[in-house]
Structure 1
Amino acid sequence: MRYQKIPNTLFVKNRSKISKELESGAMAILCSNEVLPTNADGHMNFKQNSDLFYLTGIDQEDTYLILQPHHPIEDNREILFIRETNDHLKVWEGEKLTKDQARDISGIQKVLWSHQFESYLERASSEVEVFYFNANEHDGRNTAFVSKTDQLNKEIQEKYPLHSVKRLAPILTKHRAIKEPEEIESLKKALEVTKRGFLRLADKLKPGMMEFELEAHLTHEFLMNRSRGHAFPPIMASGKNACVLHYITNNEECKEGDLILMDFGAEYANYNADITRCLPVNGTFSPRQKEVYQAALNVFHFAKERIVKGNTMTELRKSTAQKMEEELINLGLLNKEQIAEQDPNSPLYRKYFPHGVSHYLGLDVHDVGPKYATFEPGMVFTCEPGIYIQDEGIGIRLENDILITEEGNIDLCADIPLEITEIEDLMRQQA
């Protein structure tokens, strides 16, 4: 792994929180993601199952975890199964984790080989009353894709049809939403790398550059700083491309007089940064660009003040929508009469601000978390209002990552230039 080791105290705490919520006679089972194939004999880069990583810190394929907190034998309450290295693997892929390394990373003392998982389950199943199965229950998931977790759940149910089954996702979702200090440190490291990338982009940007050149600078900066790369496909959207919310083609020229919207973030130790900045390609905002940017900034500050303990996502979206309407009126894009007569189920501001203002952030970019929960300290959210005016070829989105505290919140991106004067000063310094 490229990233520096995370203290295993994190994973010990995480397992303890989950285990306390499992009923008597229960066994929770989780497995790693697969290495997915491409064409011929190729394969994609491995990405660990976020839930398994949250509980073990193991960043390797062919891994299983069993939690049986009420087992009478203490050693059997937590069991980790990892892939055994053989001579073939040593030659072609290198050595996998040893048992001692896995113990050190996870804090789990009983470590077996993955090929022992099925036989162990057969022996232990007679003492189990209920299986807790893991599953991806994110509301934006790809429901057509059958994961290794889905396959494992199906196989176990078919083999042990008389056992009760419960969902692990609601328990994990609740606890993953509240970040531990070690998780906040990983997020901060991801943002440190992201900031370096942004400053490099501001330094390199000039009329005539291609969007993919900026992406290349960003990739290089990330990899040079212990990140394994992008948290998600980066958006380098200049001119009219900024009005396409998920523009990732990054194949056009950055032209004099245009803005470029850059939505990106580094991954570090499986934790993800997610920021958006808009830069004038020539270093100076035009009067209209400045006007729209300031309007988006006003909404950003309004929303950020409301990402605090006690609020909810529903209320945040509702109040932010009203603030956005005010700013769109000031920009001459809407008027009060139109808003008074609009269909409340299809508000007019959605033409210019069609996406959400915030989402959970953590091990997944759109991290899991209770959808209607009251905001609590330890939760991390993005704050990302945007204004997109297709007729003018202007798209502006501003995004920072916000940690909720007992006293209010902490903007984890506060040292990354955002205000108009900061951006223009930065561009002049880099010229």
Structure 2
Amino acid sequence: MSDWFARRARLAAQLPAGAVAVLATAPERRRNGDSDYPYRHDSSFYYLCGFPEPEAVLVIVAGQRPRSLLFCREKNAEREIWDGFRYGPEAAQTAFGVDEAYPIDDLDVHLAELLADAPALYLPLARDAALDARARGWLDSVRAQARKGVQAPAVLGDLTPLVEEMRLIKDAGELATMEQAGRISAQAHARAMRAVRPGMPEYALEAELLYEFRRHGAQAPAYPSIVAGGANACVLHYVANNALLRDGDLVLIDAGCELDGYASDITRTFPVNGRFSPAQRDLYELVLAAQAAAIATIAPGRRVAEVHEAALRVLTQGMLDLGLITHLVSLEQALEQRLYLPFYMHGTSHWLGMDVHDCGNYKDVHHSERPSRLLETGMVLTVEPGIYVRAAEGVPREFWNTGIRIEDDAAVTAHGARLLSAGAPKTVREIEDLMQHD
């Protein structure tokens, strides 16, 4: 509760005195018939109050002593028989540390009152069409009182960048949750390495991951799991997971759990039969070296773009050495001409947090030339170089249909990177020893 209170206070301190900020949680989504998708809250809403139910709105009134109001569903004994527990306003006020709590049906009346003579209204602009439309109704209600001397807010501000910059820097509690999510996901990857057999369908290996996530308390996968054998690993967002895993192929697994609202994101690539071929080993060691170079750049004061640049240099030199790039050029020329693109076409890092591709700018918004932003203690980012070799004329045949990615989650500390996903086997020896001993 103290974290939510402190976050709301920090947000209020960035707003003009008397300004009103409004943030709604995510709605329930219909899957089909009378069935909904499993409910998942809005990340920024949850970050500020921790309330897990749908049909809820958080209101913050800025000032020397800021106020927070929560609007949520009322207690309903009949609906709780069908759908489960509801906090209701009274219990929610105590449980989530808000100053006031009211039924969600009272939202419009209270907002019209709160916005009377308020200097500004802050919303996540153009993110929630229903909330945007509702806000227009509140403002119309206030404007209708103009002849009585009541003023509507003169400023309509965007709440999103303020909350997202807060979310980018994780506190100790957030980092602890993310590290536990990383441990669970690492165990799931190790389980998959032990379970894989030639002839197994990809989805059976996916089931091993899901079992491990859930049995350790994670609520869900943080994103659709990728289990890609052979040539499927050359498809970056492959999620069909319905092919058979073949003897002699590699399998790439990109999967992580969500624990208490926070994501993990790990990728490992390993041989279906437990042994890397010489060509597979060459490519794998190249990607592993690129990841090590990228991780070594992570420290406060370094630019986030340096992480990608470090990985890219190692990968491109390896492509030249292995004959994937056949042009007679230097490393600098290969980088300038982007000759690596057929084999490495994505970035090396993204922010990680409540969302798997978490919020926060990658550019320095305070610099006129908008360079890559500086890393700060408390940021968490992925480090995920890869190499993807499709069957193509001029490409050495021994590398065909091979996709390799190695991804870990790195927290920025005063001393460099601390890997939250270090428990997942990663070196060739670690992987082969685990797979041969099981």
**Could you tell me the TM-score, scaled by structure 1's length?**
0.90
Q: Contact 2:186/2:266 (CA < 8 Å) preserved in 1?
A: no
Q: Work out the CA distance in 2 between the residues paired with 1:190 and 1:397.
A: 20
**Structure-2 residue corresponding to 1:107:** 97
Q: Work out the CA distance in 2 between the residues paired with 1:257 and 1:354.
A: 25
Shift of 1:147: 5.2
Q: Contact 1:377/1:404 (CA < 8 Å) preserved in 2?
A: yes
Matching residue's letter, 1:201: A
1:2-25 CA-to-partner distances (Å, cap 9, x unmatched) read xxxxxx222122112211111122
Q: Contact 1:136/1:169 (CA < 8 Å) preserved in 2?
A: no
Picking from 77, 84, 89, the partner of 1:94 is 84
Residue 426 of structure 2 is aligned to residue 418 of structure 1: yes
Percent of aligned pairs with the same amino acid: 31
Residue 131 of structure 2 is aligned to residue 123 of structure 1: no
Residue 50 of structure 2 is aligned to residue 57 of structure 1: yes
**SS at 1:59 equivalent:** coil
Q: Work out the CA distance in 2 between the residues paired with 1:157 and 1:311.
A: 45
Shift of 1:294: 0.2
Per the alignment, do residues 119 and 403 of structure 1 end up closer, same or farther by CA in structure 2, a change over 3 Å counting?
same
Per the alignment, do residues 284 and 100 of structure 1 end up closer, same or farther by CA in structure 2, a change over 3 Å counting?
farther
Q: Work out the CA distance in 1 between the residues paired with 2:132 and 2:345.
A: 33
Q: Contact 2:316/2:335 (CA < 8 Å) preserved in 1?
A: no
Q: Work out the CA distance in 1 between the residues paired with 2:129 and 2:252.
A: 34
Shift of 1:171: 1.1
Shift of 1:370: 2.0
Picking from 16, 33, 55, the partner of 2:9 is 16
**Structure-1 residue corresponding to 2:283:** 292
Q: Work out the CA distance in 2 between the residues paired with 1:149 and 1:281.
A: 49
* 1:306-345 alignment runs, 5 A limit: 306-335=297-326, 337-338=328-329, 344=336
Picking from 75, 100, 119, the partner of 1:85 is 75
Q: Work out the CA distance in 2 between the residues paired with 1:299 and 1:276.
A: 14
Matching residue's letter, 1:414: A
**Structure-1 residue corresponding to 2:387:** 387
* 1:256-271 alignment runs, 5 A limit: 256-271=247-262
Q: Work out the CA distance in 2 between the residues paired with 1:223 and 1:200.
A: 13
**SS at 1:309 equivalent:** coil
Per the alignment, do residues 221 and 415 of structure 1 end up closer, same or farther by CA in structure 2, a change over 3 Å counting?
closer
Shift of 1:303: 0.5
**Structure-1 residue corresponding to 2:396:** none
Q: Work out the CA distance in 1 between the residues paired with 2:46 and 2:245.
A: 39
Per the alignment, do residues 308 and 336 of structure 1 end up closer, same or farther by CA in structure 2, a change over 3 Å counting?
farther
Shift of 1:95: 2.6
1:72-122 CA-to-partner distances (Å, cap 9, x unmatched) read xx5x71111121122431232123114454235422232222112111111
| Structure 1 residues without counterparts, runs of 5 or longer | 1-7, 138-145
* Structure with max Cα Rg: 2
**SS at 1:350 equivalent:** coil
**Structure-2 residue corresponding to 1:235:** 226
Picking from 258, 279, 294, the partner of 1:303 is 294
**Structure-2 residue corresponding to 1:357:** 348
Q: Contact 1:207/1:281 (CA < 8 Å) preserved in 2?
A: yes
Q: Contact 2:210/2:221 (CA < 8 Å) preserved in 1?
A: yes
Picking from 5, 10, 18, the partner of 1:25 is 18
**SS at 1:402 equivalent:** strand
Shift of 1:386: 0.3
Q: Contact 1:33/1:148 (CA < 8 Å) preserved in 2?
A: no
**Structure-2 residue corresponding to 1:180:** 171
Per the alignment, do residues 154 and 206 of structure 1 end up closer, same or farther by CA in structure 2, a change over 3 Å counting?
farther
Matching residue's letter, 1:380: V
**SS at 1:237 equivalent:** strand
Query: Which segment is superposed worse, 209-218 or 34-43?
Result: 34-43
Q: Work out the CA distance in 2 between the residues paired with 1:43 and 1:347.
A: 46
Q: Contact 2:389/2:403 (CA < 8 Å) preserved in 1?
A: yes
Matching residue's letter, 1:14: R
Per the alignment, do residues 362 and 49 of structure 1 end up closer, same or farther by CA in structure 2, a change over 3 Å counting?
same
Q: Contact 2:185/2:421 (CA < 8 Å) preserved in 1?
A: no
1:385-419 CA-to-partner distances (Å, cap 9, x unmatched) read 00000120100000000000112121111222111
1:317-343 CA-to-partner distances (Å, cap 9, x unmatched) read 333322221121122111563466669
Q: Work out the CA distance in 2 between the residues paired with 1:343 and 1:406.
A: 31
Q: Contact 2:352/2:382 (CA < 8 Å) preserved in 1?
A: yes
Matching residue's letter, 1:84: E
Shift of 1:151: 4.5
**SS at 1:227 equivalent:** coil
